Amino acid sequence: MSAQLILHSGKEKSLLRQHPWIFSGAVAHLEGRARPGDTVDVVAANGRPLARAAWSPSSQIRARVWSFDPEEVVDHAFFKRRVAAAVARREALPELRAQQGLRLIHAESDGLPGVIADRYGDTVVVQLTSAGADKWRAAIVDSLQKATACTQIYDRSDSDVRKLEGLEPTSGWLLGADIEDERVIVENGVRMAVDIVKGHKTGFYLDQRENRRRLAELSAHKRVLNCFCYTGGFSLQALAGGAREVVSVDSSGPALLTAQRNLALNQQLDAVRAVWRDADVFDELRALRAAGELFDIVVLDPPKFAPSAAHVERASRAYKDINASGFRLLAPGGMLMTYSCSGGVGLDVFQQIVAAAARDAGRTARIVQRLQGAADHPVDLAFPEGEYLKGLLVQVD
């Protein structure tokens, strides 16, 4: 018999709205014994059964809901159904069917908290970040193999967030093996090398696929500045779109080397139009301003400045700083394509930050388009926290 997680009175409201997180402050007590990752029955203070969830005593999120059906059995067959359903949802969308790089499972928004799975060709890379996901590792891996017929599965469960769950980082081959760390995928007609072993996240930022395509559409005959360029995803799409020059800036020398190798993979692109700068973006933006440089498009895709709500104030200052610098570098009629991947910074707050940055830069600007993650990164309506990536395409006078 499963242990019972008893909630404080009134703390069942979020669960009744089908929000999958149960925070420590909502927990009255645990009846019975449960180890990290074990499935527990979630019960309201009045005894009403609510859900079945994975127990995580080390985390402030004490339990993550597997099922809002209190009677549903959480076993190997459960994960087989959930994984197959997630894969089928992608296959139902025409724009995703031919993608060589694709997110197959997007954690809570696919009903699998703590489970990320990205496919690069015949290789699936998994990232398990919760105690429950870690406990069911074998079932998840087997279910992915059956749902995708992939020949290789690699584990990238090495993110710092596992520490919050009391878990050690893990990585390595779970199915098959290969001496090559890189996979080459084609995205929007551009070849990109993905390092599944040492690259960020699972090796590539798949969530920006459609936004990179949008940049290509806008770049013909334009001078483009791409900040925090990583391995050149936005840069190469701008070149593919016909940009007359693309200046790319990142503080990671290895990432820039990979970006230049990616350019070499695409013989159809004019390498002479690409400029690569190994520099701190904040410093480089100020240096470009001092030199009187102007661009038609500035792309700002920084790392996560606010990993949690506690960092929002400091992150807001950083976002305002880089966006003000970006606005100052735009030629008349130019466009700023700016993003935040910080979950603690909501879209409304981010828009306010960008508006304040425009005022500081003395620019009049208008939102042309709101930008978001690609369709393989869905957001459950009951879980708005899943919409971590937000962006604005802004045009100045």
Please give the positions annotated as active site. Answer: 341
The answer for residues whose C-beta is within 8 angstroms of residue 175's C-beta and 6 or more apart is 141, 145, 150, 151, 152, 153
CA 16 from chain center: how many Å? 27
| Cβ count within 10 A of residue 291 | 7
Q: What CA–CA distance (Å, rounded) separates 290 from 320?
A: 19
Give exposure, 231-262, as e/b (b: 16+ Cβ within 10 Å).
bbbbbbbbbbbebebbbbbbeeeebbebbbeb
Long-range contacts of 170-173 (CB under 8 A, 24+ apart): 171/197
DSSP helix, strand, coil percent of the chain (3-state; round to 5): 35, 30, 35
Assess contact for 264 and 271: CB atoms under 8 A.
yes
- Helix and strand numbers (H, E) in the chain are 12, 20
Q: What CA–CA distance (Å, rounded) separates 263 from 146?
A: 35
Q: Token pair of 212, please?
A: 């990179």
Q: What CA–CA distance (Å, rounded) separates 254 from 42?
A: 47
